[in-house]
A and B are shown apart, each in its own frame.
Chain A
Amino acid sequence: MNAAYEKPVPEPTADSQPYWDGLAAHRLMIQSCAACGQARHYPQPMCPACHSLEVSWIEASRRGTLHSWTETHHPFHAGFKDDLPILLVTVDLAEGVRLQCPLRDGSIGALSLGRAVDIDFEDVTDGLTLPVARLAP
């Protein structure tokens, strides 16, 4: 782990470890119920549709559309002070679940509901990779 990294880091659980391992391998993995097939995110132990505790993981397409967004200007956290403003987007993934992550290109004025985006990866420390969005070409 990079000693100078000042941003919050996730503490993976038994339920979420495959998600973080997937990101580190540049694969966007989401849970899918082994019994009924319903996709869910963020990772959780039980399927809310059929209550099965059996989980399988699927690799998501990384294609999505904008559901909403915010652009943060205030330094809420010292680790993000040099990144301001941060444009955070809420993305509807093709698999039917959502993801929130920074948008790496495009300005807030160019955004609209339903705008197509692709999910990409950024290796931020040894072992930690976070998702980011880019406007689809």
Chain B
Amino acid sequence: MDALREQACITGIGETRYSRGTEKSQVGLALEASLNAIRDAGLRPGDIDGVIPYAAGMAVAEDFITNLGIEDLNYSAMTPMGGASAVAALQTALMATASGLCNHVLIVLGRTGFSGGRIGARVQQMPQFKTVGEFEMPSGAIAPPQLYAPMARRHMELHGTTSRQFAEIAVTMRKHAQLNDNAIMQKPMTVADHQNSRMISDPFRLFDCSLESDGGCAVVVSRAERAKDMANRPIYIMGVGEGHPHSPSVITQRSDLTRLGTAKAAPKAFAMAGIERRDIDVAEIYDCFTYIVLCQLEDLGFCEKGEGGDFVMDGRIGLGGELPINTHGGLLSQAHLAGMNHIHELTRQLRGDGGRAQVEDAEIGLVTGYGDLGDGAVAILRR
């Protein structure tokens, strides 16, 4: 598996302005971000010979051929894993470039989660939710917060994890967002604000839930030998892996409610990268809900199962801490770009372009995606 180690690099990143409210279409936002990423890489649109659009979006490969004027696309694919799609697409792009099939693969997402159909309301129409749709939605389990809440509740009952510990994650993400000019939530948040926010689906309060937002985000992955003399310092994909949990279509039947697909993805990514947990300088962890961050930290092996609540306390996950997490503010406070913004941010950090949120001497970082009721993807990048 380590034959793929460092065979591809992230060479370009691009984002739009993130907002709650837009006149633009999903495809328009995806194209705007694409162009920014392609230019950042020092490429022309015609240089892109592979495209991986976000699997749960409206934009398809044809839109990029049509609008970017790509003469001869060699490869298109999708990685339908919900919020894990973006990081899983890094694995697909790595295979497409390392194999020699492509030189430059565009991974892109446009999202109108605020202005279009709300993220929470969309679940019923998605084929991967057909089991939940038939057997659980008729009884009132409709939206992701309700579907994920029993995982968090069981973790709390088994391990003594608390809402106060969830608050620490929300407050830390907010502090990081305040250092980012392209983060939607700039208003300070205290632990008390979190604890007083209205209950959505117990144990998730409003401030445990990610934002509904609009925007586009894209990255360009290039074959390593092509990346050496491009516009920016190449950010190498050291290792990547995806993992699917037991009972992937429905959480209710999962043998262990407190373990995500991330627990299977992480050993693969670390084995390919050939490094240890302690080598990670900064981590961008998929944060659709506060609890999902805590659970992934355990599944990634940064602490034992049940210790995630203690791990996130005492400033450990903030800037200046032992493992700074979501230095852009995450889905909780920057914007919900389904984790494409996490890849964007990790690349920024490893280039040393992190601005006010720069982690000092960040050399190696980790990014995760999580979605579709349990799928996980993990990538380890280095400068």
Interface residues, chain A, CB within 8 Å of chain B? 7-13, 16, 41-42, 67-74, 76-77, 80, 83, 86, 88, 90, 97-102, 108, 112-113, 128, 130-131
Contacts and interface: CB of A to CB of B under 8 A. Distances in A.
Most chain A CB inside 10 Å of its own CB: which residue of B140, B149, B153, B253: B140
Contacts of A42: 131, 134-135, 250, 253
B129 to A, nearest CB: 11
Interface string B147-172: 00111011001100000000000000
Given A69-B150, A113-B157, A113-B158, A10 B138 contact: yes
Contact of A74 (B124, B145, B203, B253): B145
The 3 closest A-B pairs by CB, nearest first: A70-B149, A68-B150, A68-B154
Most chain B CB inside 10 Å of its own CB: which residue of A9, A74, A99: A74
B66 interface: no
16 contacts: A10-B138, A16-B134, A41-B253, A42-B135, A68-B157, A70-B150, A72-B200, A72-B201, A74-B145, A88-B146, A90-B150, A100-B135, A100-B136, A100-B252, A101-B139, A113-B157
B154 A113 contact: yes
Contacts of B150: 67-70, 88, 90, 100
A88 B142 contact: no
Contacts of A90: 150, 252, 257
Nearest to A89: B150
B137 interface: yes
A16 B134 CA distance: 9
Interface of B: 120-121, 124, 131, 133-143, 145-146, 149-151, 153-154, 157-158, 198-203, 250, 252-253, 257
A90 B252 CA distance: 7
Nearest to A131: B139
A52 to B, nearest CB: 19
B140 A83 contact: yes
Contacts of B202: 70-73, 108
Please report whether the interface of chain B is mostly helix, strand, loop or mixed according to DSSP: helix
A72 B146 contact: yes
Contacts of A12: 134
A97 B157 CA distance: 20
A8 B136 CA distance: 10
Contacts of B158: 113
Contacts of A73: 198-202
A97 B253 contact: yes
Contacts of A13: 134
Contacts of B140: 7, 72, 77, 80, 83, 86, 88, 102
A135 B157 CA distance: 19
A128 B139 CA distance: 11
B33 to A, nearest CB: 29
Nearest to B198: A73
A72 B134 CA distance: 19
Nearest to A12: B134
B354 to A, nearest CB: 35
Contacts of A100: 135-136, 139, 141, 150, 252
A39 to B, nearest CB: 11
B228 to A, nearest CB: 47
Given A42-B135, A74-B201, A130-B139, 18 more contacts: A7-B138, A10-B134, A16-B135, A42-B131, A42-B134, A70-B146, A70-B153, A72-B149, A73-B199, A83-B140, A88-B146, A88-B150, A90-B252, A100-B135, A100-B136, A101-B139, A102-B140, A113-B158
A69 B124 contact: no
A16 B135 CA distance: 10
B300 to A, nearest CB: 23
A98 B252 contact: yes
A72 B148 CA distance: 12
A59 B134 CA distance: 20
Nearest to B200: A74
B343 to A, nearest CB: 29
A80 B296 CA distance: 32
B153 A76 contact: no
B313 to A, nearest CB: 24
Contacts of A69: 150, 153
A51 B112 CA distance: 42
Given A73-B198, A108-B202, A67 B154 contact: yes
Nearest to B157: A113
A29 to B, nearest CB: 13
